[in-house]
Each structure stands twice: as C-alpha cells, then as structure tokens.
C-alpha cells in the first residue's frame, strides 16, 4: 500500500492567530508518537501569519483514520471551533 501525504491548510481569523498556533503546536508531539506517522510538520506563512500548513506523511489511510479518532485530535478540533476562516485537507498519493 502507498504512503499517504496530507497537506492541511488552516486559515485563522485575524484575531485568533496566537490561540490557534498554540493549539496546533500542542497537537504535534502526541501525533508524532502515533503508529503510522512518518512525518508531521507545521508551517506558518511568512507573509500572512494567519495561514498554517501541516505537511504529513502516513503509512496508510488507516493510520490517518486512527489519528482523527485520537483524544488529542478531537481536543484540537474542539479548541478551534469558531476560530478559523478556512480549513482544507488534501490526502494525496505520490505518483512520481
């Protein structure tokens, strides 16, 4: 089975940047310990600090499905309620 790459773009409301950033950073350590997690990195746009991007590599789609059922993931989703302008998650398979 092919590894899965996830690009998750998160755009915060302008007055929520620091609160969202804190929640995103809390998500990293437990996620990196998950079975199936190969890479899990967070980036912040240099020109617009309200834009964040998670770049993730997982062993399989099953690993991602387990990830979104974890306590820390559910806590992150709840903590960000009402603080985001946009969230787009792309799950991709490398083809070249």
Number of domains in the chain: 1
pTM for this prediction: 0.93
Q: In 3D, which of 85, 80, 10 has the Cα closest to residue 44?
A: 10
Q: What tens digit of pLDDT does each residue of 34-46 get?
A: 999 999 999 999 9
Which structural domain, as residue segments, surrounds residue 82?
4-93
Q: In whole numbers, what is the pLDDT of the chain averaged over residues?
A: 96
pLDDT (mean) for 78-90: 97
H/E stretch holding 71 reads helix 71-79
| pLDDT of res. 94 | 86
Q: Residue 1 — pLDDT band, cuts 50, 70, 90?
A: low
Q: What tens digit of pLDDT does each residue of 16-25 get?
A: 999 999 999 9
The token pair that represents 64 in the structure block: 């991602």
Tell me the C-alpha to C-alpha distance, in Å, between residue 66 and each of 45, 62, 83, 91.
28, 6, 25, 15
| pLDDT of res. 24 | 98
CATH number for the domain harbouring residue 78: 3.30.70.100
Output 45-50 pairs: Cβ under 8 A, ≥24 positions apart.
49/17, 50/11, 50/12, 50/13, 50/14, 50/16, 50/17, 50/85
């Amino acid at each position: 089975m092919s590894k899965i790459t996830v690009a998750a773009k998160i755009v915060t409301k302008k007055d929520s940047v620091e609160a969202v950033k804190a929640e995103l950073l809390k998500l990293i350590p437990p996620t990196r310990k998950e079975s199936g997690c190969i890479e899990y990195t967070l980036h912040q746009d240099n020109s617009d600090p309200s834009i964040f991007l998670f770049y993730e590599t997982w062993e399989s789609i099953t690993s991602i499905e387990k990830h979104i059922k974890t306590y820390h993931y559910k806590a992150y989703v709840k903590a960000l309620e009402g603080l985001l302008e946009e969230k787009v998650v792309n799950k991709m398979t490398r083809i070249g």
